[in-house]
Amino acid sequence: MKKRDVAKLEEHLGYKFKDRSQLERALSHSSTVASPRLQVDQTYQRHEFLGDRVLAVTIADMLLKAFPKADEGELARRFNGLVRNETCAEVAREIGLGPYIRLGEGEAQAGGRKKEAILGDVCEAIIGAIYIDGGFEKARDIVKHYWERRMLDWTGPLRDAKTTLQEWVQGNKLPPPTYRLVERTGPDHEPEFTLNVEVPTLKSAQGKGPSKRIAEQDAARTMLIREGQWSADVK
């Protein structure tokens, strides 16, 4: 990256790196290296792993302080809404990370800088890079800056779609939902899962996502919307 580009991104982040190689690595997708063995040392994967944990503990602490009367279930649902990949991707777009992400030619031509999964991963990797470069407090500061408003303004359901579907079918004296994998597509670093949720006497519903968990939630949400139990405006 050119120095002026790095400086501009640091300005957006509100943090100046002592070791800018940490930032460059956090922006490097696996498609930029030819050998899988090099991915560990030259791409954002390990930074993302670390950033995910820093984000999680920071959000958990913020929630405990902001909602002192909330029970564990409510805290968990708020937490899941704030740390999910879609929220991280939203933050990445707010920061303007897309143009700075380093991609292989094929991934770049496929629109990788706009892909939700990549944006979310890079956002977490940036948090990890700041933690390595400046310590926990600096990483916590950027999480608080970009997530505090989202935490206070969050309007998602206090129950996730799978739990809501489970309770709804039980209330209607139906057997519990079952989830069945239909297919898995995409490369190992960016898979997409398609699953069906099935409830006896009801038409099955399908969901997709970058993990089985997300695809299950999407399938449950689709069924609930169809049955008039969930608003299509609520993610």
pLDDT tens across 98-155, in order?
999 999 988 998 998 999 999 999 999 999 999 999 999 999 999 999 999 999 998 7
| Close Cβ partners of 212 (under 8 Å, ≥ 6 residues apart) | 179, 181, 193, 195
- In the sheet where 192-198 sits, what is the strand order? 178-185, 192-198, 205-209
Residues 105, 185: one domain? no
Helices 136-153/45-66 angle, 10° precision? 60
Residue 235 lies in a domain: no
Whether 105 has a binding-site annotation, put simply, is no
The answer to whether residue 104 sits within a structural domain is yes
Q: What is the pLDDT of residue 172?
A: 93
Of the candidates 153, 171, 189, which is a domain's last residue?
Answer: 153
The answer to whether the annotation marks 124 as part of a ligand binding site is yes
52 and 100, same domain (yes or no): yes
Query: 137, 153, 169: which is the final residue of a domain?
Result: 153
Quickly count: other Cβ atoms within 10 Å of residue 167's Cβ. Answer: 12
Position 42 scores a pLDDT of: 83
pTM, two decimals, is 0.71
What pLDDT, on a 0 to 100 scale, did the predictor assign at position 234?
62
One domain for residues 49 and 137: yes
| Euclidean distance between CA atoms 107 and 20, whole angstroms | 24
Determine phi and psi for 175, rounding to 5 degrees. Answer: -60, 155
Instruction: Pick the catalytic residue from 5, 10, 52, 183.
Output: 52
CATH number at residue 60: 1.10.1520.10
Query: What pLDDT sits at residue 159?
Result: 72
pLDDT for position 235: 61
- Name the catalytic one among 107, 124, 160, 190: 124
Residues 75 and 102 in one domain: yes
Answer yes or no: is 234 within a domain. Answer: no
**What's the pLDDT score for residue 6?**
83
The pLDDT value given to residue 35: 60
Annotated active-site residue 124? The verdict is yes
C-alpha 196/C-alpha 137 separation (Å) is: 43
Domain count, the chain: 2
Is residue 188 marked as binding?
A: no
Domain that holds residue 212: 161-226
pLDDT averaged per 10 residues in sequence order, the chain, 235 residues: 80 93 93 68 91 98 95 86 93 94 90 92 97 97 96 79 91 95 90 96 95 93 93 69
